[in-house]
Amino acid sequence: MTKESRKCSFCGREEKSVDILISGTSAHICERCVEQAQHIISEEKIARGKNKIPSFKLLKPFQIKDHLDQYVIGQENAKKVLSVAVYNHYKRILYSSKKESSKDDVELEKSNIVLVGETGTGKTLLARTIAHMLQVPFCIADATVLTEAGYVGEDVESILARLLQVSDYDVAAAERGIIFIDEVDKIARKSDNPSLTRDVSGEGVQQALLKILEGASVNVPPQGGRKHPEQKMVQVNTQNILFICGGAFDGIEKKISSRLQTNLIGYGLNREQEVVDRDNILQYIAPQDLRSYGLIPELVGRLPVLSHLNPLEKDTLRQILTEPKNSLINQYKKLFEMDNIKLTIDDEVLDYIVDKAVEFKLGARGLRSICELIMIDAMYDIPSYEKQEKLHIDKDYAKKQLDKTNISRLKVA
């Protein structure tokens, strides 16, 4: 066969009409057929579920917490809850594999978790930090984009599709993964009163999540159901998938206070209610408060482990600025170092930044906003000055920079 007449033995395309033509002893194949064959092999592996389940090391709860301590300041209770949950999830995986060869009839059920905390307290950071150390598939999904099936938005099955992508479409591995559902409070029921319009992003989403959280075989579209309706569905069993839900639940403090009757005055006041910590009312959260906020009882029952994140105090915010491996101050020092400039900041400036973050109730995220306002002029001007090698920031300079902005309007009454 001459070079001019060579063709792909599968599709019949001539060599001049393809980019690459791979030659064998008596046949040829083009790059398009190679890609199609690779896709067919991947689908067959998914259908048969014969991919090897990755091995992992069973980490103790204190080992998981030690890793979290390197990146997350404070929140001891939440870190303990997450560490135990992940450890038990690993144990369930090992137990399930051993149970197949034994006569043990004990069925270990998973304990899904819900984390409640104000914005900027570290809910998503905890999940992302765990993701770096886990050897099982882990993904973070956002509940704000979820809607009922048939409406504009994403189906709840897209959460499992994201887990499949993380596990390289290995169904057996994905069925032993962990999913963090962020902003779960955004799917709360809008009102207890029946409405003429459908609550397509509220109660409807909660109803759809029930079967996934409890454990069921779900048909998942690997590439997204609404954009590719012709694709082959992949069946995923969620029985061994651990779900961690997080949300700010803004305004739930009023529900907790009402239940605790913290506003009682006069002769009916109970002495025991005087010990209630009004500055950290979230620590008294209970499942019935989630129901009052707008989560349906069925969903609350499928999230049996409830933990809270404490509001960040001044000492904690001060540590966040300097102590973690990727602390804010180290990040800014690195940014200026890339311009051959050594940055130094007085300790009283750090205290001033923390005071402003507490005053404006911005949480840990507010620290970066305040730092940006203080350093914006320096980061704009200094790269143009070739001879400048040092930058020192004192309290007077920081106060002057903040006074130039409208940050005082952010103050919460």
What is the SS3 string spanning 277-336?
CHHHHHHHCCHHHHHHHCCCHHHHHCCCEEEECCCCCHHHHHHHHHCCCCCHHHHHHHHH
pLDDT for the residue 116: 93
Q: Are residues 277 and 381 in the same domain?
A: no
Residue 386 lies in a domain: yes
Burial of 13 (C-beta count, 10 Å sphere; 0-12/13-18/19+) = middle
For residue 220, the SS3 value is strand
Q: Specify the range with the lowest mean pLDDT, choosing from 102-111, 167-176, 365-374, 399-408.
A: 102-111
Check residues 360 and 409 and name the one with the higher pLDDT.
360
pLDDT for the residue 408: 57
Which residue matches tokens 């033995």?
9
Overall domain count for the chain: 3
Name which of 121, 96, 120 is nearest 108 in CA terms. 96
Residue 253 lies in a domain: yes
Residue 149 lies in a domain: yes
Q: Are residues 294 and 329 in the same domain?
A: no
pLDDT tens across 223-281, in order? Answer: 665 556 666 788 899 988 999 999 989 889 888 988 887 544 445 545 454 567 777 88
Residue 345 lies in a domain: yes
pLDDT for the residue 264: 47
376 membership: H or E segment, kind and range: helix 363-381
Task: Among 48, 73, 89, identify where a domain stops.
Answer: 48
Q: Are residues 319 and 304 in the same domain?
A: no
Q: Are residues 244 and 190 in the same domain?
A: yes
pLDDT reading at 297 higher than 60 = yes
Which residues span the domain enclosing 37? 15-48
Q: Are residues 150 and 281 in the same domain?
A: yes
| Cβ contact 124:246 at 8 Å | yes
pLDDT for the residue 78: 92
Cβ-Cβ contacts under 8 Å for 223 (sequence gap 6 or more): 161, 231
pLDDT for the residue 103: 57
Q: Are residues 94 and 210 in the same domain?
A: yes
Residue 115 lies in a domain: yes
Q: What are the helix (H) ranges across 58-155? A: 61-69, 76-99, 123-133
Q: Are residues 106 and 121 in the same domain?
A: yes
Q: Are residues 98 and 141 in the same domain?
A: yes
pLDDT tens across 303-352, in order? Answer: 999 999 988 888 889 988 988 878 899 999 999 999 889 999 999 999 99
Q: Are residues 301 and 345 in the same domain?
A: no
Task: Among 256, 277, 308, identify where a domain stops.
Answer: 308
pLDDT reading at 54 higher than 50 = no
pLDDT for the residue 412: 47
Q: What number is the average pLDDT over the span 74-81?
A: 90
Average pLDDT of the chain is 82
pLDDT for the residue 53: 45
Q: Are residues 107 and 233 in the same domain?
A: yes
| Cβ contact 173:137 at 8 Å | yes
In this prediction, residue 301 has a pLDDT band, given cuts at 50, 70 and 90, of very high
pLDDT tens across 127-172, in order? Answer: 888 877 877 888 989 999 888 877 777 888 889 999 998 888 888 8
In this prediction, residue 61 has a pLDDT band, given cuts at 50, 70 and 90, of very high
* Most confident option among 192-201, 326-335, 384-393: 326-335
The CATH number for 331's domain is: 1.10.8.60
pLDDT for the residue 224: 60
Q: Are residues 262 and 324 in the same domain?
A: no
Residue 53 lies in a domain: no
The CATH number for 272's domain is: 3.40.50.300
Residue 141 lies in a domain: yes
Residue 56 lies in a domain: no
| Cβ contact 221:241 at 8 Å | no
pLDDT for the residue 195: 55
Q: Are residues 286 and 339 in the same domain?
A: no
Q: Rounded CA gap, 311 and 7, in Å?
A: 69
Q: Rounded CA gap, 52 and 241, in Å?
A: 17
Task: Among 308, 330, 346, identify where a domain stops.
Answer: 308
Q: Rounded CA gap, 264 and 254, in Å?
A: 14
Angle at which helices 76-99 and 61-69 cross, to 10°: 140
pLDDT for the residue 413: 44
pLDDT reading at 115 higher than 70 = yes
